[in-house]
């Protein structure tokens, strides 16, 4: 009996291999959390350092332009 390579399916096998449905959804959630964390950090830094110096309008524009 010979060993087959991993991932090779015989022609007579009727199995269909697909990714799990939640695979991309999980990646989407992780990406969303990272994006919100990054944007919140920028907003806090802008509030602390930019707003007193250049005002709220230009501070908001600089945060939006960064993302």
The pLDDT tens digits of the residues spanning 9-62 come to: 556 566 666 767 777 788 889 999 999 999 899 888 888 888 888 888 887 887
Contact (Cβ atoms closer than 8 angstroms) between residue 18 and residue 43:
no
Predicted pLDDT of residue 9:
56
Predicted pLDDT of residue 10:
59
Which H/E stretch holds residue 52?
helix 51-54
Predicted pLDDT of residue 13:
62
Map out the domains of the chain as residue ranges. Answer: 22-66
Predicted pLDDT of residue 61:
84
Q: What is the pTM of this model?
A: 0.54
- Rounded to an integer, what distance in angstroms lies between the CA atom of residue 3 and that of residue 29? 40
Contact (Cβ atoms closer than 8 angstroms) between residue 50 and residue 62:
yes
- Rounded to an integer, what distance in angstroms lies between the CA atom of residue 25 and that of residue 18? 15
């Amino acid at each position: 009996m010979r060993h087959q390579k991993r991932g090779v399916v015989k022609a007579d096998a009727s199995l269909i291999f697909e990714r799990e449905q939640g695979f991309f959804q999980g990646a989407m959630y992780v990406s969303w959390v990272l994006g919100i964390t990054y944007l919140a950090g920028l907003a806090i830094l802008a509030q602390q350092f930019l707003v007193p110096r250049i005002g709220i309008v230009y501070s908001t524009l600089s945060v939006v332009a960064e993302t």
